[in-house]
Structure 1
Amino acid sequence: MIKHFFTLAAIGLISFSSFAQSNGCQITIKDDQQAIEQKTKDKLSAAFYNVYPWFASADGYRTKRSADLIFNSNETTDIKAKAGEIIVNGDWVKGKSQKKIEKQLRNAFTKNWSGFSIQKKKGYKLTFISKDPLLDPLLKQKLIDTYFEIYPTLVKTFNNKSTHNVLFVVDTAYKAVAEASGNRILFSAGYLNAHPTDIDVVTHETMHIVQGYGYSAGPVWLTEGIADYVRYQYGVDNVGSKWSLPAYNAKQSYQNSYRITARFFAWLEQNIKPGLVATLDQQLRAHQYTEQSWNSLTGKSIDQLWEEYSKNPGQVKLKYSSKAEKG
């Protein structure tokens, strides 16, 4: 989980504005008439730095990191906010506590999204933001249910230090499938709408949060291969998601990543060393993985293991999860 530490660096009045900057975000408070006392402006600045970085991170990569704050009692009864602009009712804000200002500012920002909800269950929290007004409510609920069904299991199985506070963002501007960064998972609205049964994309992406390897821990093919192996092994409805591991062919390589590597891992778990994937996951998180890890764990190099696999790839029993079968 990426933690943001906020500091207040208010520099007072500069001509008609109050300027401060923190954590890549900045606010310019404009008060042409000098009608708002400095104490209130300081509360507004502090509220901005406690709320805006959260909004900008959740809203998207291209969200403005700077915002103008102006006072206009004709446009809003309290606070009106969007990326880059905050409008405050000067009469409303007088005498308000910073806590009250923060709450109202957060509420104002959430109105920029089509959907915003927070759910908690057995010590785990999920914040769900949708920027797609056409997102099927039933699909949204399935994504939420999958999180609460699978994520606690992955945390307990692989990394009990993982965050219990996760953010889902469904974005219409994002064109890939999904990606995880820190405690946030970004989903493509277009992909979800085109593949509404693929709920185990949640399993793959939440495993990335659990992995939490950081930079330079190991090759990408290994990271993605483990995430897809975990999807195969722990997914809640791979049959319903129309997802499976591809059959072996001679053109493949263990470095192909994702499902090809995941099938190889299934073979390794059944024929070479049970628990190998979990051990590799631990080494990657501790930044202890090297190419020699394969030799020390199995007595053979990764290339030797792949050669054995290629000679008998059918020597693996594959069973896929299915909600239909569970009833």
Structure 2
Amino acid sequence: MKRQLTHDDIRAAVYGGAVLGGGGGGFVERGLRTAELALQIGMPQLWTADEFAAEDLTATVALVGAPAAPDPQVLPTHLLRALELLRRDLPRELVAVHTNENGAETTINGWFHSAMTGLPVIDLACNGRAHPSSVMGAMGLHLADDYRSYQGYAGGKPYAYVEGSVSGGLEATSNVVRRASVEAGGWVGVARNPVEVGYAVENGAPGAVSFAIELGRRFLAEGPAGAAAQLGGEIAATGTVREYRCEQREGLDVGVAVLDDAAGTTLHFVNEYMALDLASGRRAAFPDLITTFDENGQPLASADVEVGRRISVLVAPADSLLLSTTMHMPEVYAPVEELLGIEFAPAAKALADV
């Protein structure tokens, strides 16, 4: 199905994305502004994957960086510039774009691009929830020895602005872009990793944008409890933050938040929440969804948590989400576990038992 995105979609997409962001995926207000701008300047289109030939070429549009960085800036013009740099270097034409993940800003990735260029957005994400590393959102391309990654990037305030394009191995090019985000003040817009639509459908999360919109409508009507019910989850903890640490490492927010509740709730995050521990043991771990809400029931990014703030924690099982094949690959978890100094990766351990 082909349809034009409307103003009725904006709040649902952004708030549904914020829930699925699991602490990452950007910020609500910026997502709303970018989506509103897209509809003011053009007519962004959302097409289901079956509207394309399997061999048609699509590319990921994304944001890369640390949300708590002190001086970031990515403007809609930066998003468009990143796509221009990518298209300049590609051996053949793109016919569409798709987002890397669901999040408050990332679910609407591609809307501005579509409004400005006429390229449709595919109702598909590399992963149906937010994730911290580029490899987690690369749909298994890191396993293809002959895959050549192309990436365009742009971002930063005028005195820290960077842009560029890079091609080569997936890990090497992703590291270049991550480093560029640091030099830009913490954040860049990226267009990257062209693949055929058939590959994206097989290895990504088709239907992810619609999934976020449906969830957002439930959240807007019923709040966190409604979102939890929609996802087959629950509000697992509520309390006041008594300890919070966050530092930027390798272009990511790495930290922990501890609540004062009787259960001893501890949240570990690398942009997104990676693990929820109670005094009695591990309650949930990525790719399970762990999302925080403020005292007013609004989605709260891990970067906005602070000591003295009262929060609630939603937990939903991984099998209720639309997940990429990478979420079941043990090797993608190791770098994130190393940053936190803990082991989690429940999906990887489950695979090992098969």
- TM-score, normalised with respect to structure 1: 0.24
Higher share of residues assigned strand: 2
- TM-score, normalised with respect to structure 2: 0.23
Determine which structure has more spread, i.e. the larger CA radius of gyration. Answer: 1
Which structure has more relative contact order (CA 8 Å, sep 6+)? It is: 2
